[in-house]
Amino acid sequence: MSASEPLSIVEVQRRVGAELDRLGPVIDGLGALFTDAGHELHLVGGPVRDAMLGRSHHDLDFTTSARPEVSERLLKGWGDALWDMGRDFGTIGARKGPWVVEVTTYRSETYDPSSRNPTVHYGDSLAGDLGRRDFTVNAMAVSLPAREFEDPYGGIVDLAHQVLRTPGRPEDSFADDPLRMMRAARFAAQLGFTVAPEVVEAMTAMAERITIISAERVRDELVKLICAPHPRLGLTLLVETGLAAIVLPELPALQLERDEHHRHKDVYEHTLTVLEQAIDLEPRLSPDGEPDLVSRLAALMHDVGKPRTRRLVGDGTVTFHHHDVVGAKLTAKRMKALRFSNDEIDAVSRLVELHLRFHGYGSGEWTDSAVRRYVRDAGDQLERLHVLTRADCTTRNQRKADRLRRTYDELEARIARLSEEEELASLRPDLDGNQIMAILGIGPGREVGQAYTFLLDLRLDRGPLDEAAATAALQEWWASR
């Protein structure tokens, strides 16, 4: 499952040295500031791990022996800005130029079996603080200002071998913070690392414990996983350990029993492939290379209606009629349960509902009216619908794949032509509400809305009309009511 070859210890050490030199203007002065005040300060967690992977940070995490009120006093004289939203967790944040730092007092945190949130206790040693962290690759530190490397749990070896392992027993780690099971899948997706067998075993045995974690925190981990470079790795781990059955049950439900004649695709594997193909097409949506959450979620959820709609017909053929509509409803329900925003829910569920629409296009038989309606129904999700529809082709038949691609190329070209001619992106009737009332001699009310809808349908069917033609059509419609 690893995404790249193991690293050598020598290369890891070289990368760390280079990154610490780059961070020198921040870490050396800040380390001296805390040391002179009689406290310890250590660069810790993600910045240390990513330094070993050759990745740079401007957001830096530190841990310290100082209590939050002391950290606040020291940082106030050092930074350009200060904030204390994380004070309840022992964290004080500051910004100095382009650098953002968060300094957290040594701590340990545990969950009550019935609680959704951790109880935080301050610790008294670096080793104790590192021992409560999720994985050994995140349990390394650099003591400042001396720049001495601290690795009490063998994180550098695990990082070199690209393995995720917990500092202590995984059962104890997951009992303290069940969200770490989600983080294991997330880091597998982000880093391309393998998860140690004993960690997978503990995740499988303790999957139900994730139910004490709030939906918002589960959602945040799921979003990070889906937006990672290798989401298949993380999603597969969630399914195999049973966590997905709790946090995203629609995904393992796609593992439909294959009929003996293989009359339908493996929907689960097809879905993961569509997700990967959608990611490959993301430059169409995000030229700066940022992951597009809505597009990825739509790819992941586009076939979740199939288990509910699966039917075996007389000749042994498997059908999934209306799985697009059913899937849109299931998608909205799941995203609502995970506390996604209404805008995200609307966008993803609309894409799921529309993902089959192109297949009615055939070999290009749609009228201009049908093309206009396709654009109108997609609304501001049109570009994402292009991506999802193209990604949804996973056939191994190259001739069929080429034909589908050419047909969709043609549809996009027609949309572009009509858009240029008719301004499809801002599709409106040829008469506005005031004109409708003036022509029909009526005031505001339901009848104006009905007339507006009639004119919009007319616009979709016939394209743009001049004011005289639109007026005549409106009067004819009004007289026939």
According to CATH, the topology of domain 250-426 is Hypothetical protein af1432 (1.10.3210)
For residue 48, what pLDDT is reported?
94
Reported as a single tens digit per residue, the pLDDT across 12-39 is: 888 889 999 999 999 999 999 999 999 9
Crossing angle (nearest 10°) for helices 179-191 and 231-241: 150
The token pair that represents 91 in the structure block: 């964290």
Distance CA 73, CA 80 (A): 13
Q: Where in the chain is the domain with CATH 3.30.460.10?
A: 1-158
Looking at 177-292, list the stretches that DSSP marks H as alpha helix, in order from N- to C-terminal side: 179-191, 197-205, 215-226, 231-241, 244-247, 267-280
Options 1.10.490.10, 3.90.440.10, 3.40.50.2300, 1.10.110.30; CATH for 169-248 is 1.10.110.30
User: Residue 266 in 3-state DSSP?
Assistant: coil
The token pair that represents 28 in the structure block: 């050396």
For residue 424, what pLDDT is reported?
58
For residue 273, what pLDDT is reported?
96
Of the chain, the end-to-end C-alpha distance in Å amounts to 66
- Look-up of token digits 């990604």: 391
Taking 70 as the pLDDT cut, the residues of the chain under it are 1-5, 108-120, 257-265, 421-426
**CA-based angle 316:320:321, to the nearest 5?**
115
List 105's β-bridge partners, or say none: 64
Element (H, E) at 425: none
According to CATH, the topology of domain 1-158 is Beta Polymerase; domain 2 (3.30.460)
Distance CA 303, CA 392 (A): 10
Q: Where in the chain is the domain with CATH 1.10.110.30?
A: 169-248
DSSP 7-56: PPHHHHHHHHHHHHHHHHHHHHHHHHHHHHTT--EEEESHHHHHHHTT--
For residue 2, what pLDDT is reported?
43
Mean pLDDT score across all residues of the chain: 90
For residue 261, what pLDDT is reported?
44
According to DSSP, the β-strands at 91-96 and 81-83 are antiparallel
For residue 425, what pLDDT is reported?
55
Q: Where in the chain is the domain with CATH 1.10.3210?
A: 250-426
